[in-house]
Amino acid sequence: MKYTEEHEWLEAEGDLMVVGISAHAAEQLGDVVFVELPEVGTQVTLDEEVVVIESVKAASDILAPLDGEIVEVNEALVENPGQVNEDPTGKGWFFKMKVSDASPLEEYMDEAAYKEFIG
């Protein structure tokens, strides 16, 4: 699993990349009450706004961590956005993407570096 400075996590699943937010980010957001997911088939570029999350504390955007195509979204979050809080690195994932340029992965943190980053 890799982490971005924006508190997103990425994990390879076969030839796809699964994307969500860290437990730290979910905790900081508070109770998530709404998630707007992208359309399957959407082409995204690095740092493009992809997901909108609303919580009791704030609204936040999830940015594309890599270039590629959205191939699957977690529809369960539409009905139960609280899964982001309950299981952020499991059932609370946002989307899966087919990556067209994986080179930015080298810049992202592993779990130990991320834990140090959030202090």
Contacts of residue 99, defined as CB under 8 A and 6 or more positions apart, other chains included, come to 16, 17, 66, 67, 68
Tokens of 85: 């809080």
Which pLDDT value is given to residue 116? 97
Average pLDDT over the chain, rounded to an integer = 96
70-89 mean pLDDT: 97
The predicted pLDDT at position 48 comes to 96
Q: Characterize 85-109 residue by residue with b for buried, 16 or more Cβ atoms within 10 angstroms of its Cβ, and e for exposed.
A: beebeeebbbbbbebeeeebeeebb
Q: In this structure, what DSSP letter does residue 30 have?
A: -
Residue 106 has, within 13 A of its CA and on its CB side, a CA count of 3
pLDDT of residue 54: 96
Candidate CATH numbers 2.40.50.100, 3.30.230.70, 1.10.3190.10, 3.40.50.300; the one for domain 2-102: 2.40.50.100
Amino acid (1-letter code) at residue 112: A
pLDDT of 71 reads 98
CA-CA distances (angstroms) from residue 60 to 12, 28, 47, 94?
24, 11, 14, 13
pLDDT, mean of residues 85-107: 95
